[in-house]
Amino acid sequence: MDRLRLTLLAALMLLLAPAWIYAQATDGNVVGLVTDASGAAVPGATIELQNDATGIKTTAKTDTLGAYRFNNIPTGVYTLRATAGGFTAAQLQKLVIELNKTTTANLSLQVGQVSTTVEVLEAPATIDTTTAQIQATFQSRQAVDVPIASLPLGPINLALLSAGVASSGGLGLGEGPAIGGQRPRNNSFTIEGVDNNRKDVTGSNVRIPNEATSEVTILQNSYSAEFGHSGGGVFNTIIKSGTNQVHG
- Among residues 69, 91, 120, the one where a domain terminates is 120
- Which pLDDT value is given to residue 24? 44
* 169 and 231 together in one domain: yes
Helix ranges restricted to H, the chain: 2-16, 140-145
Check whether residue 116 and residue 43 sit in a common domain.
yes
Does one domain contain both 98 and 160? no
| Under-50 pLDDT residues of the chain | 16-24
Pair 235, 216: CB distance under 8 Å? yes
CA–CA distance, 141 with 143 (Å, rounded to integer): 5
The answer on 100 and 36 residing in a single domain is: yes
144 and 198 both lie in a single domain = yes
The set of residues, in sequence order, having a beta carbon less than 8 Å from that of 125 and lying 6+ positions away, is: none
Q: Is residue 9, in this structure, part of any structural domain at all?
A: no
The CATH number covering residue 174 comes to 2.170.130.10
- Domain endpoint, select from 90, 120, 150: 120
Q: Can you give the residue range of the structural domain that contains 39?
A: 27-120
For residues 94 and 154, state if they share a domain: no
Q: Same domain, yes or no, for 47 and 97?
A: yes
Give yes or no: residues 85 and 157 share one domain: no
User: Which 8-state DSSP code applies to residue 18?
Assistant: G
Domain assignment of residue 10, yes or no: no
Q: How far apart are CA 248 and CA 146, in angstroms?
A: 22
pLDDT given at position 126: 64
Same domain, 214 and 192: yes
End of a domain among 120, 148, 170?
A: 120
Claim to verify: residue 169 and residue 235 sit in the same structural domain: yes
Domains in the chain: how many in total? 2
CA–CA distance, 69 with 62 (Å, rounded to integer): 8
Q: Residue 7 falls within a domain, yes or no?
A: no
Q: What is the pLDDT of residue 50?
A: 94
Whether 76 and 159 share a structural domain:
no
pLDDT for res 201? 74
Task: Give yes or no: residues 72 and 167 share one domain.
Answer: no
Spatial separation of the C-alpha atoms in residues 114 and 111, rounded to whole Å: 9
**pTM of the shown model:** 0.65
Q: 93: closest CA among 119, 126, 61?
A: 119
What pLDDT score does 177 carry?
85
d(CA 223, CA 39): 35
CATH number (domain holding residue 44): 2.60.40.10
237 strand-pairing partners: 191, 216
Q: Render the burial of 177-214: b for 16+ CB within 10 Å, e for the rest.
A: bbbeebbbbbbbbbbbbeebbeeeebbbeebbebeebb
* Residue 33 belongs to some domain of the structure: yes
